[in-house]
Structures are given as C-alpha cells and as structure tokens.
Structure 1
Amino acid sequence: MVIAFTLHEFMHAWMASVFGDDTAKNAGRVTLNLLKHLDVFGTLLIFIAGIGWAKPVPVNSTYFATRRVQSIIVSLVGPLSNFVLAFIGFSIFYFIPVNQSFEAFLNIFVTLNVVLGVFNLLPLPPLDGYRIVSSLFPTNIQMKLVPLETYGSIIFLVVMLTPIGDFTILPFISSSIGIVMNSFYSFYELLLPN
C-alpha cells in the first residue's frame, strides 16, 4: 500500500508539474516521501473498513496549455502507475522462482495495485475516473458539477461502507480484476508461446 499509494499520488503531482502547474510542487507533493501523501482519515479507514485513500494532489488546470487533454492525462497517470506496478509484480512472479513468503507478497502487491487502478477509474467523485469524465464536458457543465462533488463523496462512502456496494461497485471491480490479470497472462503467452 505504501508503494502503491505513494507512486499514484507522485505521478499526479509530477505530471501536473510537467504541464506547467506547480501547485502540487509548491506543496511538496512531487516526492516519493509517503508522509507527504498520507491522509490520516483515509489511512484509518483502511484499518477500520478495508478502504481508504491518500491525500488528493492539488491541481490547477488553468496552468495547462491544453486544459482538457492535460487534465485527463494528469488524472489518468495515477491509475496507470498502479497497473504498471501490478504488471512489474506479475512479471517477477511469472519469470523468477521465489520463495513462499515473497510469492505471498507479490500476490498481494499485484492484486492491490490492480484493485487501486480499477477502483480509481470509477467515474465517481472524488476518484480519478470522475475527473477524467468531467474533463470531457464543456466548462459551463463542469462548473455546475462542482457543488455536487461534496455530495458525491458522501454518496460514494455510503455505497462503499454499506451492503449497497456488494451489489454495485464490488462486482464490477471483481470482474475487472479478472480481466486485467487475464490480460497479463495473455500478453506473456502471446509474447512467449510454448
């Protein structure tokens, strides 16, 4: 989780900085230091409810040259970093014989990163998927969505912390994990046929 959350938030901050927005950089967020990305409440929820989050990276898209496209890229690189980490972990497991303890670590590492990648692509505030989808809308509609984001976060927590999630979000995440893992296997089977 330390690796997955830290790299995820670092990528958001670094990409925004590359595109000309130094908001996150000035806040000390272009770093791989976990403590800079730690959210106390989000961390506590991980131990209490099994879900949680890191501190969101502040992004000011008015600094972007191509606001819509670069906003989408900044939002996308976080989940993408989790898929890359999962693929690296899967590749180590696939190619290198490891002992039972390290195998258990890799299994958790890969699964956690796939879950985080898929989870963050859900189009619900405050997740990255919502930022991606909302960036596709015209500016006037985006402005109308801003007041709804607070309520969206509350609704999201209710869904995730109650049985409602068992019938909505969790089945989608479970099936998506299978799709991603199968794509990893298929990639190597195609690349290295027996």
Structure 2
Amino acid sequence: MHAWMASIFGDDTAKNQGRVTLNPLKHLDFVGTLLIFIAGIGWAKPVPINSTYFSTRRIQSIIVSLVGPLSNFVLAFVGFSVWYFTPVSISVEEFLNIFVSLNVVLGVFNLLPLPPLDGYRIVSSLFSAKIQMKLRPLEMYGSILFLIVILTPIGDFTIIPFIRTSIDVVMNSFYLFYEWILPI
C-alpha cells in the first residue's frame, strides 16, 4: 500500500526496484526473517520511498505512512464483516478471528511512534526539515531500542498493554458500528 500510494504521488522508486509485487521473496529482510524463527517477531524490508517526488512532501509523506496501518484496519473490518454477517464453520470462524486480530495488531503496532514503524514516520513528518535531519542519525538506534522493549519484560509494562487496549477499542468499534447502522 505504501508503494501504491507513493506511486500515485509521483514516486515510482518501489516499482522501479521490483517491490510492487505479492511475491514474498522480494520483501524478505534477512535479519527480520531470522528473528521470526528465533524470537517470534520479525519484519520485512521497508518499502523504498523517495519523498522528493511529492509535490507536498510533508502531507503526502504522512498519507503514505498512514495507508499501511489503514489497510490493516480495512482488512480487519472486512474479515469482521464476513464473520458478522455470514454463518461460518468453526474452522472458518477461527481463521477469521486470527485474520481480524492479526490485522488489528499490525495496524495498531505500526502506528507506534518508534523508528522504523509508520507511526514514527508520521510523527517525524510533522517536524521541520531541520529537526528531521537531527533525528535521522538516531533512527538506527530506534530498531535496537524497539527490540529491547519488545523482547524483554519492559514490553509487558509499555507496548503490550497499549496494544491490548487498542485491540479492544478497535474491535468494540466494529461491533458498535454495526449496532449503530443495524439496530435490532
């Protein structure tokens, strides 16, 4: 979604690098993939974006960063809607539960304002170019800090409660939406 939106705004960097594809091999990051097997958490290569192609760099950078988490919430809502309106078997219901939960977690998680996540890109885009330049050298430490928080008990008191609460808020919003448009 990031590459698609960036392309709409005039940046074909990802397309030119062959990254606009559903082929998962094009998106694998060696360390991120390795950590999936070691620690149960990993990541893909970041989508290459060159905001110098954007006509309104700050606003379009924020939009490009938002479409990733937004697409997760849309997918979660679609999965929830299928579950809500369609009688499904237990195995399909279990799949939809995992599908919805995973997309909500990814959407919320990616909105955290830590580098290299989308939330950081959104927040940093709000700063002046001068401040952004000062933040850039610190970004490489963001991944290390992020891993420390996630892989140690620190996450149990910081990020994990936030994500759990956010999942509840999003899921309750889905229920409330349908109760609002389809009152019984």
**1:1-194 map, 5 Å:** 11-194=1-184
The one-letter code of the counterpart of 2:104 is V
2: CA distance, partners of 1:84 / 1:68: 24
**Structure 2 CA distance for aligned equivalents of residues 103 and 47 of structure 1:** 27
Structure 2: 5+ residue stretches without partners = none
The alignment's C-alpha RMSD in Å is 1.0
Quote the Cα distance in structure 1 between the aligned partners of 2:22 and 2:54: 23
SS of the residue 2:18 aligns to = coil
User: Following the alignment from structure 1 to structure 2, what is the Cα–Cα distance between the partners of residues 17 and 106?
Assistant: 31
Stretches of structure 1 lacking an aligned partner (at least 5 in a row): 1-10
Distance 2:181 2:25 in 1: 39
Give the alignment's TM-score, normalised by structure 2. Answer: 0.97
C-alpha distance in 2 between matches for 1:86 and 1:153: 27
Q: Equivalent residue for 1:7?
A: none
After TM superposition, give the deviation of residue 34 of structure 1 in Å: 2.1
Q: Deviations over 1:81-136 (max 9, x none)?
A: 10011001000000001111111111100000000000000000000000000000
TM-score by length of 1: 0.92
Kindly provide the amino acid, as one letter, of the partner of residue 61 in structure 1: S
**Aligned partners of 1:105, 1:48: CA distance in 2, in Å?**
25
Q: Report how far residue 143 of structure 1 moved.
A: 0.4
Runs of 4 or more, structure 1, over 3 Å off, are none
Could you list the per-position Cα deviations for residues 25-65 of structure 1 after superposition, in whole angstroms to 9, with x for gaps in the alignment? 11111222222222232233233322221210011111100
State the alpha-carbon separation in 2 of the partners of residues 191 and 47 from structure 1: 43
Structure 1 residue identity aligned to 2:27? H
Which 10-residue stretch deviates more, 68-77 or 22-31? 22-31
* Residue identity (%): 82
1:168 to partner: Cα distance: 0.5
